């Protein structure tokens, strides 16, 4: 069966609504996750991400399919599974508002079946890790949105579970708080030997944190690969040429059929921006400029942008 920690096989979820309507939220989804992988689960709103997370942590039952934890084919070790997965759900109250930060970390460990006395060191470690030391004895209800979210994630890290499921960890946070959260997630990715499945809309989270992504749309997987492979597939690059003076009509004509190319003129310069998928187009632009005697002051290339790749993947398939 190979070296996986989580195996999702032909998972399907049909929600029955009151008017006897059926919504196929998840449609025959299969994927494996290896120990220590950090996988991003991406997709537009309503794609089925949260439903998959809820089925993996057994909050809801699947309509069809199987979720196997390690080699537990017969699922004898349900308890073991609960002890080995923690989950932070989007939008839910993952922590108890009337308990303090420390009490939450202790109580949520008990719920997972761990003795908090034995986890004291870990609790202290994560209080510092998440920068919550000065809030240790403050009740969760009094924390800012960003701190509540930090506490939720801290609570999922304290019990020594092998798998952590995070549903939209940066959703609803302001700019500063989501920046902090991304830094924390990056640190977790680098320092923790956990297997993490994280759903997000935040491309920066994907780029900084995940080593593999699964893209789902309308309940089905449309891509599952290492980030680098997906980027390579699309090779989206932005180039920006700054040219002294203006280009000729003939040059314009020669550049005319290049897609995603934009020419802007200001007082003294011409700026050409282009979004290319083949290096041959880059060289063609350089040749047109060179042959026309243009003086190129600078060429900048912006980093490969994951968001553009993602939109391209969705655009190509939807």
Ligand X SMILES: Nc1ncnc2c1ncn2[C@@H]1O[C@H](COP(=O)(O)OP(=O)(O)O)[C@@H](O)[C@H]1O
Q: Which of residues 157-196 bind ligand X (CB under 6 A)?
A: none
Strand, coil or helix: what is 192? Answer: coil
Q: How far is the CB of 114 from ligand X (least distance, A)?
A: 29
Question: Crossing angle of helices 306-317/227-234, nearest 10°?
Answer: 70
Strand, coil or helix: what is 90? Answer: coil
Q: How far is the CB of 43 from Mg ion (least distance, A)?
A: 9
Give yes or no for a contact between 182 and 209, defined as CB atoms under 8 angstroms apart: yes
Over its C-alpha atoms, the chain yields an Rg (Å, rounded) of: 24
Over the range 231-251, which residues count as b (16 or more CB within 10 Å of their CB) and which as e? Answer: beebebbbbebebeeebeeeb
Q: How far apart are CA 304 and CA 239, in angstroms?
A: 10
Q: Does 150 bind ligand X (CB under 6 A)?
A: no
Strand, coil or helix: what is 94? Answer: coil
When the beta carbons of 210 and 289 are compared against ligand X, the nearer one is 210
Q: How far is the CB of 63 from ligand X (least distance, A)?
A: 12
Residue 51 site contact among ligand X, Mg ion, none (CB < 5 to 8 Å, cut-off depends on kind): ligand X
Give yes or no for a contact between 305 and 238, defined as CB atoms under 8 angstroms apart: yes
Residue 7 site contact among ligand X, Mg ion, none (CB < 5 to 8 Å, cut-off depends on kind): none
Q: How many CA atoms lie within 13 A of 76 on its CB side?
A: 4
Q: How far apart are CA 274 and CA 289, in angstroms?
A: 14
Sheet holding 261-265, edge to edge: 261-265, 269-276, 237-244, 295-302
Residue 8 site contact among ligand X, Mg ion, none (CB < 5 to 8 Å, cut-off depends on kind): none
When the beta carbons of 106 and 168 are compared against ligand X, the nearer one is 168
Q: Does 48 bind ligand X (CB under 6 A)?
A: yes
Q: How far is the CB of 16 from ligand X (least distance, A)?
A: 8
> Which residues are at the interface with Mg ion (CB under 5 A)?
49-50
Q: Residues 150, 152, 158, CA angle at the centre, nearest 5°?
A: 95
When the beta carbons of 89 and 209 are compared against Mg ion, the nearer one is 89
Q: Does 206 bind ligand X (CB under 6 A)?
A: no
* Cβ atoms within 10 Å, residue 215: 21
Q: Does 293 bind ligand X (CB under 6 A)?
A: no
Q: How far is the CB of 88 from Mg ion (least distance, A)?
A: 12
When the beta carbons of 53 and 123 are compared against Mg ion, the nearer one is 53
Q: Which stretch binds ligand X (CB under 6 A): 31-39, 48-56, 122-130, 203-211?
A: 48-56
Q: Does 50 bind ligand X (CB under 6 A)?
A: yes
Q: How many H-runs (helices) and E-runs (strands) does the chain carry?
A: 11, 13
When the beta carbons of 216 and 309 are compared against Mg ion, the nearer one is 216
Q: How far is the CB of 45 from ligand X (least distance, A)?
A: 5
Give yes or no for a contact between 255 and 285, defined as CB atoms under 8 angstroms apart: yes
Q: How far is the CB of 65 from ligand X (least distance, A)?
A: 15
Residue in the block written with tokens 């870990």 = 122
**Window 8-47: contact mask with ligand X (x via CB under 6 A):** -------x-x-----x-x-----------------x-xxx
Residues of this chain that interact with ligand X (CB under 6 A) are 15, 17, 23, 25, 43, 45-51
């Amino acid at each position: 069966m190979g070296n996986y920690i989580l195996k999702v096989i032909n998972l399907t979820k049909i929600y029955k609504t009151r008017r006897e309507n059926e919504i196929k939220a998840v449609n025959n989804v299969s994927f494996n996750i290896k120990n220590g992988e950090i996988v991003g689960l991406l997709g537009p709103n309503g794609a089925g991400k949260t439903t998959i997370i809820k089925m993996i942590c057994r909050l809801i039952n699947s309509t069809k399919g199987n979720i196997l934890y390690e080699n537990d084919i017969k699922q004898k070790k349900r308890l073991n599974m609960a002890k080995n997965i923690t989950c932070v759900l989007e939008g839910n109250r993952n922590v108890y508002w009337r308990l303090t930060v420390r009490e939450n970390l202790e109580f949520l460990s008990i719920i997972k079946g761990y003795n908090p006395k034995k986890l004291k060191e870990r609790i202290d470690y994560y209080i510092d890790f998440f920068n919550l030391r000065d809030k240790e004895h403050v009740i969760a209800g009094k924390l800012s949105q960003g701190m509540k979210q930090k506490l939720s994630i801290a609570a999922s890290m304290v019990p020594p579970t092998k798998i952590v499921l995070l549903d939209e960890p940066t959703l609803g946070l302001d700019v500063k708080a989501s920046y902090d959260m991304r830094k924390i997630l990056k640190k977790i990715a680098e320092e923790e030997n956990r297997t993490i499945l994280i759903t997000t809309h935040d491309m920066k989270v994907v780029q900084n944190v995940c080593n593999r992504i699964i893209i789902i749309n309308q309940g089905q997987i449309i891509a599952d690969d290492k980030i680098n492979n997906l980027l390579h597939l699309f090779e989206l690059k932005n180039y920006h040429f700054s040219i002294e003076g203006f280009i000729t009509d003939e040059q314009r004509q020669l550049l005319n059929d290049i897609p995603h190319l934009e020419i802007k003129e200001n007082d003294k310069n011409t700026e050409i921006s282009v979004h290319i998928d083949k290096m041959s187009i880059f060289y063609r632009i350089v040749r047109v400029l060179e042959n026309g005697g243009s003086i190129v002051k600078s060429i900048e290339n912006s980093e490969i942008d994951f968001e553009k790749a993602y939109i391209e993947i969705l655009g190509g398939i939807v």
